[in-house]
Amino acid sequence: MAEKEKLTKEQRKAAFEALMLEYQAPLLRYASRLLCNSHVAQDIVQNAFIKLFKKWTDELVPSPKLSSWLYRVTHNCAVDYLRKETRHKNLHSLFAEEIDPTVKPNRGEAFRISEEAAQAVNALHTLSTREQQLVILKIYEGKSYKEISEITELSVSNVGYILHHAMKKMAKELKSQ
């Protein structure tokens, strides 16, 4: 008998809300770093929780399996969004004037980051999307190679290989700045 049938509607709702409290902040951090847009990240994470509610058949309790599943769904939704946005940007660039990318908006003192942090972010953005995702999961989210492997559906050795080369690229970029 599936868990959906075992729990009352109120029990399932309470369990789901507890999971949201547990995983919402880390998933938002991860999606925000991938997308560089907190508003879109909120939509992506919301979609991941909707998919969880509709499709998850195991117990609604925090577990490594559930964590990996949520990160993978968030990851896949973010990648789909990035691909869609890339197609839109390419289409719009054919018909619209380019905005000068060297002019950055001034958002005030509260949004300033250190020069080193800005350089690290710039170096991160020189990597491919796949490399960025792995670096974010490892460095910012503190995930193990095994967890990253489960999230991205890459082998553990492939995760290590990609991360090794991504970190070398970032180091080279940082030295050249």
Which domains does the chain carry? 1-98 (1.10.1740), 113-177 (1.10.10.10)
pLDDT at 152 > cutoff 60 = yes
Q: How confident is the model at residue 144 (pLDDT cuts 50, 70, 90)?
A: very high
Which residue do the tokens 């800005």 mark? 118
Mean pLDDT, the chain, as a whole number? 83
pLDDT range class, residue 129, cuts 50, 70, 90: confident
**120, 139 contact by CB (below 8 A):** no
Q: Is the pLDDT of residue 21 over 50?
A: yes
Q: Look at residue 95 in the predicted model and tell me its pLDDT.
A: 54
| Contacts within 8 Å (CB) and 24+ apart, 4-9 | 4/57, 7/60
22: confidence class by pLDDT, cuts 50, 70, 90: very high
Name the band, by pLDDT with cuts 50, 70 and 90, for residue 13: confident
Would you state the pLDDT for residue 106?
55
Q: What is the mean pLDDT of residues 147-173?
A: 92
What pLDDT is attached to residue 108?
55
* Phi then psi dihedrals of residue 137, to 5 deg: -65, -40
Cα–Cα distance for residue pair 150/12, rounded to 1 Å: 26
State the CB neighbour count (10 A cutoff) for residue 82. 17
The sign of the CA dihedral 3, 7, 12, 14 is negative
Statement: residue 120 has pLDDT above 90: no
pLDDT, position 93: 58
